């Protein structure tokens, strides 16, 4: 048979290879090398980490392709890059330069306030953010091959990531106990495609790999998310906005592997230096919250 | 029969599901003590750099090499890289198999592909003849085999994608992502 590329199995499959791993935000080749050396399973190439996007304000867009290409040259692990919600031309550009995964991300300023990208149109796989099962299944319906909880990026406050992971996991557990005749109403109430609701009930999990993101700053945060049932962790500002990025990055990698072993978690949590300066997500005005972006 | 799956990073739970489907007892391996009582080990797909660094950090390198001398080990993708002797770059390797491997040999993710393979040894062992559907994800190629290592399967262009050396097995592709249990059955026959 002819070799087939860009299939749904291929798209989902790369995310399966990332499981049990940490995906780190990096803004240049040097940081990418530090992340790879620390054991990151992939990097997210972007011009500014979410904490700086918050501080700078203005419109946040796709990064310069040249900067992404330099990061792709610098490391052997997969490289992801972000495009704006609904900005399918940014996605076309990222696909053409060969990034391994595109994050259609609420961290950038949305380009479309009603529609997301039809991700089935691409060969490159996409990851998207979610706050609950309905949002997750809408994105998967559009073709996202990997999900991440949104959390509240650039805060160093894990509370929103916990809220979103608990919401998704709770809904999956709820579906396990539902009768088949209840699924259409569940789909209606959650704004989720019916076929995917059925699939979640049958599988007892999300149809694609589901990571945590948005506010993870310590090894304990990462292990908390893993114990809540996610498949891996994105760390954005938490590493390179901390006092000792290399050490903290390696510690978070270890904490995701040994997330059930408190004695190892204690060991890797020692002497990590300053964590990123946190920002309390609960006291943040609605207008500054990124997680609300996405439809 | 109890088979361990190295659970440092990657798709170890997919391997565990396949093993359970064919009725094999399983265990996750994260520390040297988890190797006790196992009849064989699978090293899953994932990122070989991540798996190697965690194996070094938790003193698994020597115990894994020792385990491989007398037990069956199968590496898929990243696992095949980890089993090899030479990959032409500096990262932790077990060096148990006399194979030379090139990482990411097919390009980036958009070049990852699925295709059917003829694997005579596998068909003979399982008494089947339908082609084996293989899934490659940023996969490596086995550039060459030496010593006792032999080629198990190659693409039409000759590039080697599966090799065996006694009780050691390496595949560039991911049988754990399919519903075809033949490769897992074949590995269990090596571990018996």
* Number of neighbours of residue A163 by Cβ within 10 angstroms: 18
Task: Please state the pTM of the whole predicted model.
Answer: 0.97
Residues of A with a known catalytic role: 82
* pLDDT score of A283: 87
Flag residues of chain A having pLDDT under 70. 1
Give the span between the Cα atoms of A295 and B158, in whole angstroms. 48
* pLDDT score of A259: 98
Burial class (CB in 10 A: 0-12, 13-18, 19+), B50: buried
Q: From the candidates B28, B47, B93, B106, which should be mutated to test the interface with A, based on the most A CB atoms within 10 A?
A: B47
For residue B46, the chain A residue with the least C-alpha distance is A17
What is the torsional sign of CA B112, B114, B116, B120?
positive
* pLDDT score of A286: 86
Is the confidence at residue B53, as pLDDT, over 80? yes
pLDDT tens track for A30-75: 999 999 999 999 999 999 888 898 888 889 999 999 999 999 999 9
Query: Any catalytic annotation for residue B184?
Result: no
A251 within 8 A of A219, measured Cβ to Cβ: yes
Is the confidence at residue B149, as pLDDT, over 90? yes
- Angle A142-A147-A151 from CA coordinates, rounded to 5°: 120
* pLDDT score of B10: 98
Give the span between the Cα atoms of B39 and B29, in whole angstroms. 13
* pLDDT score of A57: 86
Percent of chain B with pLDDT over 90: 99
Give the span between the Cα atoms of B112 and A105, in whole angstroms. 24
Put simply, whether B45 touches A (Cβ < 8 Å) is: yes
B63: pLDDT confidence band, cut at 50, 70 and 90? very high
Give the span between the Cα atoms of A251 and A270, in whole angstroms. 9
Give the span between the Cα atoms of A25 and B16, in whole angstroms. 31
Q: Tell me the three state secondary structure of residue B31.
A: coil
Is the confidence at residue B17, as pLDDT, over 90? yes
* pLDDT score of A58: 87
Query: Any catalytic annotation for residue B176?
Result: yes
B30 within 8 A of B7, measured Cβ to Cβ: yes
Q: From the candidates B112, B134, B141, B157, which should be mutated to test the interface with A, based on the most A CB atoms within 10 A?
A: B112
- In eight-state DSSP terms, residue B149 is -
Put simply, whether B156 touches A (Cβ < 8 Å) is: no
A158 within 8 A of A224, measured Cβ to Cβ: yes
Give the span between the Cα atoms of B107 and A235, in whole angstroms. 26
What is the torsional sign of CA B17, B18, B23, B27?
negative
3-class SS string, chain A = CCCEECCHHHHHHHHHHHCCCEEEEECCHHHHHHHHHHCCCEEEECCCCHHHHHHHCCCCCCCCHHHHHHHHHHCCCCEEEEEECCCHHHHHHHHHHCCCEEEEECCCCCCCCCCCCCHHHCCCCEEEEECCHHHHHHHHHHCCCEEEECCCCCCCCCHHHHHHHHHHHHHHHHHHCCCHHHHHHHHHHHCCCHHHHHHHHHHCCCCCEEEECCCCCCHHHHHHHHHCCCCCEEECHHHHCCCCHHHHHHHHHHHHHCCCCHHHHHHHCCCCCCCCCCCCHHHCCHHHCCCCCCC
Is the CB of A39 less than 8 angstroms away from the CB of B12? no
A107 within 8 A of A290, measured Cβ to Cβ: yes
* pLDDT score of A1: 67
- In eight-state DSSP terms, residue B39 is S
Give the span between the Cα atoms of B152 and B123, in whole angstroms. 11
A12 within 8 A of B4, measured Cβ to Cβ: no
Give the span between the Cα atoms of B82 and A130, in whole angstroms. 35
Distance from CA of A2 to the nearest CA of B (A): 7
Is the CB of A21 less than 8 angstroms away from the CB of B7? no
Q: Which of A53-62, B50-59, B107-116 has the lowest mean pLDDT?
A: A53-62
Is the CB of A124 less than 8 angstroms away from the CB of B104? no
Q: Which residues on B lie below 8 Å from A261 (Cβ)?
A: 30
- In eight-state DSSP terms, residue B175 is G
* pLDDT score of A2: 79
- In eight-state DSSP terms, residue B54 is H
Give the span between the Cα atoms of A184 and A190, in whole angstroms. 10
Give the span between the Cα atoms of A19 and A256, in whole angstroms. 10
Is the CB of A17 less than 8 angstroms away from the CB of B11? yes
Put simply, whether A204 touches B (Cβ < 8 Å) is: no
């Amino acid at each position: 048979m002819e070799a087939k590329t860009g299939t749904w199995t291929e798209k989902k499959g790369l995310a399966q290879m990332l499981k049990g791993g940490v995906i780190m935000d990096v803004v240049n080749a040097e940081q990418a090398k530090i992340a790879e050396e620390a054991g990151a399973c992939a990097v997210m190439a972007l011009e500014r980490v979410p904490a700086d996007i918050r501080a700078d304000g203005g419109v946040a867009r796709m990064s310069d392709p040249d900067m992404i290409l330099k990061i792709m040259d610098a490391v052997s692990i997969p490289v992801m890059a972000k495009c704006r919600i609904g900005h399918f031309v940014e996605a076309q550009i990222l696909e053409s330069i060969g990034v391994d995964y595109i994050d259609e991300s609420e961290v950038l300023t949305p380009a479309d306030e009603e529609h997301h990208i039809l991700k089935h149109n691409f060969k490159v796989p996409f990851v998207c953010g979610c706050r609950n099962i309905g949002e997750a299944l809408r994105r998967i319906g559009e073709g996202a091959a990997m999900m991440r909880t949104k959390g509240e990026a650039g805060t160093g406050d894990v509370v929103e990531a916990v809220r979103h992971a608990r919401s998704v996991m709770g809904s999956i557990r709820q579906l396990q106990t539902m009768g088949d005749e209840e699924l259409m109403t569940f789909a209606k109430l959650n704004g989720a495609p019916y076929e995917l609701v059925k699939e979640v009930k049958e599988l007892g999990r999300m149809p694609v790999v589901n990571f945590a993101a948005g506010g993870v700053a310590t090894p304990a945060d990462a292990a908390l998310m893993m114990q809540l049932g996610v498949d891996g962790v994105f760390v954005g500002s938490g590493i390179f906005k901390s006092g000792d990025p290399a050490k903290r990055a390696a510690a978070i990698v270890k904490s995701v592997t040994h997330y059930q072993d408190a004695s190892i978690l204690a060991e890797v949590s020692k002497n990590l230096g300053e964590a990123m300066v946190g920002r309390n997500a609960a006291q943040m005005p609605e207008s500054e919250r990124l997680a609300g972006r996405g439809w | 029969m109890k088979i361990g799956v190295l659970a440092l990073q990657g798709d170890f739970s997919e391997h565990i599901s396949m093993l359970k489907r064919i009725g094999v007892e399983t265990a996750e391996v994260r520390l040297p003590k988890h190797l006790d009582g196992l009849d064989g080990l699978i090293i899953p797909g994932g990122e070989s750099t991540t798996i190697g660094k965690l194996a070094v950090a938790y003193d698994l390198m020597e115990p894994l090499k020792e385990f491989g001398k007398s037990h069956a080990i199968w590496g898929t993708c990243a696992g095949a890289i980890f089993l090899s002797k030479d990959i032409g770059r500096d990262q932790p390797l077990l060096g148990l198999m006399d194979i030379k491997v090139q990482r990411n040999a097919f390009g980036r993710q958009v070049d990852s592909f699925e295709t059917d393979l003829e694997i005579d040894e596998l068909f003979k062992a399982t008494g089947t003849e339908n082609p084996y559907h293989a899934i490659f994800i940023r996969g490596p190629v086995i550039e060459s085999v030496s010593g006792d290592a032999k080629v198990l399967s190659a693409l039409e262009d000759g590039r080697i994608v599966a090799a065996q050396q006694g009780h050691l097995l390496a595949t560039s592709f991911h049988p754990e992502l399919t519903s075809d249990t033949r490769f897992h059955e074949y590995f269990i026959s090596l571990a018996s």
